[in-house]
Amino acid sequence: MKSIWDSFRLDGKRSFVTGSSRGIGKAIAMALGEAGAEVIFHGSQPGEKLAATLEEAKKKKIQCRSVTGDLSDPEQVQHLISSVGEIDILVLNASVQKYQRVPEFNMKEFETEFRVNVGSAFLLIQGFLPGMLQKKWGRVISLGSVNQWKQSPRLAVYAATKSALCNLIQNCAREYGKDGITFNNIAPGVIATDRNQAVLSDPQQSAEILKLIPAGRFGQAEDMAGLALLLCSEAGSYLTGSDIPVAGGRQL
């Protein structure tokens, strides 16, 4: 008889996690790999972090390789789709986040943020969906943010990209629910990764932010991994169109 743990296994599944050279993407990719999936790691360009992550995964006996490409460039996204090949699991994790007030944004910066955070997600879904439809099985997860609900003066553009991404995902959930493909959004709170290092290493700023988090601590990248695994596995097959904060209560 099958145990509940079997329904979390991902043996035989192929996964692609954008922005998995480090941070949350890396933690999710490692979890999928440890559950038996083949993992295709990704970074914007070749570098030490991506190489070290791949090495770490190989040591864990995860079947893996890496690809690189700038997601702000649609041609590079198309190249990624063909070099990755068919997959069962797509994790839309990479993003650009510019702390800047609205009047300071120029159109190029605005477009870059939308191209990486929303445009590449659209192209990747478009590219990988036909294979999932053929197999009648697929998992797509996007990384949103508590900024979808919690407004911040310097993150208006970033928050708008995350709400747009979540909306895209939820519309796809409705459209492909009968095809065995689930689409869900994970919305992290304040997670201690490279992008927050400057703010969180400032004692005054970090103390102010900490007051807003009911759990009383900043999240770690690995805090996202359990939910991601659930959403990617058979155990999560009845979860679709969900938008789930993993934020220590910061969404309240």
Hey, which residues are catalytic here?
Answer: 158
With CB under 6 A as the contact rule, the residue among 96, 164, 229, 246 that binds ligand NAP is: 96
> How many chain residues are in contact with ligand NAP, going by CB under 6 A?
30
For 151-208, what is the HEC assignment? CCCCCHHHHHHHHHHHHHHHHHHHHHHHHCEEEEEEEECCECCHHHHHHHCCHHHHHH
Site residues for ligand NAP, 56-85, by CB under 6 A, read 70-72
77 neighbors 67 (Cβ within 8 angstroms): no
**138-143 and 38-43 as β-strands: parallel, antiparallel, unpaired?**
unpaired
250 binds ligand NAP (CB under 6 A): no
With CB under 6 A as the contact rule, the residue among 22, 119, 125, 168 that binds ligand NAP is: 22
CA angle (160 as vertex; 155, 25 as ends), nearest 5:
80
Which region, judged by CB under 6 A, interacts with ligand NAP, from 166-174, 186-194, 204-212, 236-244?
Answer: 186-194
119 binds ligand NAP (CB under 6 A): no
Block residue for tokens 């329904």: 7
Nearest to 167 by CA among 133, 131, 101, 117: 117
Max CA distance (Å), the chain: 61
Binding mask 23-52 for ligand NAP (x = CB under 6 A): xxx-----------------xxx-x-x---
Q: Which is nearer to ligand NAP, 117 or 182 (CB)?
A: 117
> CA-to-CA distance for 233 and 152, rounded, in angstroms?
34
Q: What is the DSSP letter of 144?
A: -
188 binds ligand NAP (CB under 6 A): yes
With CB under 6 A as the contact rule, the residue among 40, 54, 95, 246 that binds ligand NAP is: 95
130 binds ligand NAP (CB under 6 A): no
Q: What is the DSSP letter of 247?
A: S
Q: Which is nearer to ligand NAP, 43 or 138 (CB)?
A: 43
What does the binding site for ligand NAP look like in residue numbers (CB under 6 A)? 19, 21-25, 43-45, 47, 49, 70-72, 93-97, 116, 143, 145, 188, 190-191, 193-196, 221
